[in-house]
Structure 1
Amino acid sequence: MTTVDVATPDGTTSGAGSTTSRKRSGLDRMSVEWVKLELMRVAYATRGGFLARRDPRAVLGWYVLCALAPWFTYSTPILVALFVLALGCALAARIGPLLLGLFTLGLVGQAAYVLVLVLVLGGDTTALDGLLQISLKLGAVSLASMAAFVSLDPEKLSDGLQAMRAPAVLGFAISYGYRMVPLLIDEFHDIVDGHRLRGAPHRGHGFLGWRTIARIGRIAVQAFYPLFLNTAQRTRTTVEAMETRGFTSAGPSTAGRRLRLAHLRWSVGDTLLVVATAATIAAVYTFLPTS
């Protein structure tokens, strides 16, 4: 009996009967399962990061400062500095490659589209500077949003909003929306797999794959109704379960609110986070040219 040697990533070889693990990279990671896992990590804040260890009230305060700062100036140097700071915070918050890839693709696509539009319409450098400013503002706010909300799981976000005297229904809606996104992806995947198993395979891909594209579009349309029907059933079950536990009655209760928020602790690190962010933004506005 012959044994076939298989090369492993570290350069060693192993027999055919042994189990080897291969690290996935590149296009191997672009699958539906990988997208679902990335969405789960985003929704439940499992990556960690410097904001994940902070009190949710401090994270929300940090986000408000970073989101409002770019809108009070039209200075390109200040906006570039704020964008770089937001990018550094986003990387430190360990945003997944899926969100960063979508953000980069959208930003580059928007910049290319606007640049072509300005050149076709005969614009000058003044128009390009104005478009650059709005792109930097939106980019900085988007990066701050991703860094903040990737670091907060649904429970922490809901508790932070309730601690800041937001309506209980608002906190529940945001928390429930966070939890429903991965479930919707999973439900859609199951419905599409069911259609593909029951349907007959198409006869070839056709010119430029038009048969495959048409089939995928038809399945997506057919999956629309059962997807929302199953979502409505999940929502009704959740609402009934929460009502049996007294969600509506416990919402305005002071004792219930105090019991739910008893685990929140504002530490010295939370104060340093907010103060350092405010000081950094003030220094950027003070030392960089405003025009």
Structure 2
Amino acid sequence: MGVSAASSTPGWRPPLHPIDGGGLDAPAALDLLRRGDLEITARLVDASNTTLCCDICADGVTGRCVYKPVRGERALWDFPDGTLAARELAAYEVSEQLGLGIVPPTILRDGPFGEGMVQLWIDTDVTVDLVALTRSDDSQLRRIALFDVVINNADRKGGHLLPAPSGRIHGIDHGVTFHTDGKLRTLLWTWRGRRLDAEETALLDDLREALAGPFRDRLEELLTVTEVDALTVRVDGLLAEGRFPLPSGDWPAIPWPPF
């Protein structure tokens, strides 16, 4: 994975704290996700697409993960069929390239119901009030808000934020992202119109440089050329404006339901 200048900035944290990921750091989690045997234990019935909870085991190392098979994706009018799992992985790749560790370790692999996205299960701090959190000025949420603008996230609900025991806030459910049209819908509008800080500008500069190199080739394995072009245009626009965007009047600003 690419690592940006974020690793030397004050707000940077390691990609995954073991206390959040069942005792696994990021390299161990990715290895387990790639090699482990999946055993389905439950289905998240509130999810719009088939979302299965699994135990995963390899060489005595165990963990938990979420498996979303491509064949279980619900057809959408504005996204091509069978592309949501790849978009989830692309979101993880961008999160890692930025060096922010927002998205839990994620891969594409075969599973009990065919190819799908497999993502490490993140333990959450159930004492955190999600409503209050989304209304706060938390610096981690600000970084997630910027990330959502970059990936054009059409569905940042409150329930897609995972406050973990370490204090880190993870973001999940990035299937409806990277559209070529502006579709940003999010609860995180606290920073609308505010200027980007120096660290955010540096992150975007690094990402823009990466998009002119091999990282672009990696994303083109997951997205269309046009979608990667649109990603580059969004980054260029953010750097040119130097501000968080305002809500668009052409698209609902907040997802429904919001949680």
| Normalised TM-score (structure 1) | 0.22
Structure with greater proportional helix content: 1
Structure with greater proportional strand content: 2
| Normalised TM-score (structure 2) | 0.24
